[in-house]
Chains A and B, each alone.
Chain A
Amino acid sequence: MSAVPILWLHDATAGDGKSGIGWELLVGTSRDGIKTAYVDLEYVGAFAPTPVGDPGNHRLKIGMLAAMWPAYQSTGVRCIVAFTSTGVADVADILRESIPDAVVTTCRADDAETVKTQPDAVPDVAVDTTGLGVDEVAEAVRAAARNWPFGDLEGSALRGG
């Protein structure tokens, strides 16, 4: 089986036009010839009332992403950019329950002031968005995540899909 790189990108001010970062990542990786899915978990779905024991619908959001993976995979998708408003400490472990080959990189893209006032789960990668356009943030995210999605995954077996 091939690795499935999943970039879990969170931004505390999601919904403020910054989901464009995720879109830029999608365009960038597809331009590199890597079929990519973009899942904006703030907009895919909603559920009311919030389930007891799942404040913020975190588990539900992860469940939504996992549920969609088989269909995406069958169309040739090889990696996923997931965009949310919050970090989830154990997102990688939860995702691997459903997608065993998931290689999850959590990334927080926020301006320094927001990070200071709204700290949350510690990400694998953090990008300070202060003064950057969405395209610049997307480039910075990929670079900080070691040329995501396949830059740090060596070997033809991983790249072959």
Chain B
Amino acid sequence: MLWLVGPSGVGKTTVGREICARLGDSGLSCALIDTDMIGLCLPSNEHDPEHHNLKARNLGALWPVFHEAGAQCLILTGGIEEPDQVAPYVERLPGADVTVCQLTLSEAEHRARIAERNGRSVAWVDDLIAEGDELNGVDFAAVRVDTGGLSVAESATQILQAAGDWPGVA
């Protein structure tokens, strides 16, 4: 399992889909799950305000669906911001060989990439930039890839190489 983490707007989902499609084209069945999208409900419970318990349970429930469809490997995107948030998710995937890959980006490029999204307020962008700075300062991944100046395809190639030619199965 390859888990792409990093601040909102860095391109985790876009690059994850590129890798998923590329592996699919090469004959390897690959699933992708956007962790930010598997726990959306309102109102939130007080004991799980960020829905990590819910999302971890849903991850554990979703993998068998993909596996039954033939998936041989899994890409996760997003969902966590701190090192100790990894384990509860991984516990739901017994036997998984997990590589966490942290995507980083300079503030200027992060701001430019976010600006490509329409209709966002300056305050919203500033919040994302601040969050990005914070995440860039936290080192909790085995692999780090600076996606600055890279296209989606180039980022995908860098990530796969940095992760040891992931997934490393024929």
Contact = CB atoms under 8 A, between A and B. Distances in A.
Interface of A: 26-27, 30, 35-40, 43-49, 51, 54, 60, 63-64, 67-68, 70-72, 74-77
B57 A76 contact: no
B41 interface: yes
B40 interface: yes
B40 A39 contact: yes
Nearest to A38: B40
A71 B40 contact: no
A44 B29 contact: no
B20 A46 contact: yes
Interface string B56-70: 011001101110111
Contacts, number: 95
Contacts of B71: 47
Interface residues of B, number: 34
25 contacts: A30-B43, A35-B41, A35-B42, A37-B41, A39-B37, A39-B40, A43-B37, A44-B33, A44-B62, A46-B32, A47-B29, A47-B30, A47-B32, A47-B71, A48-B25, A48-B29, A49-B29, A51-B69, A54-B69, A63-B68, A67-B61, A72-B58, A75-B41, A75-B54, A76-B45
A45 B68 CA distance: 15
B23 interface: yes
By DSSP majority rule, is chain A's interface helix, strand, loop, or mixed?
mixed
Contact of A46 (B17, B45, B64): B17
Contacts of B31: 45-47
B57 A26 contact: no
Contact of A45 (B33, B40, B43): B33
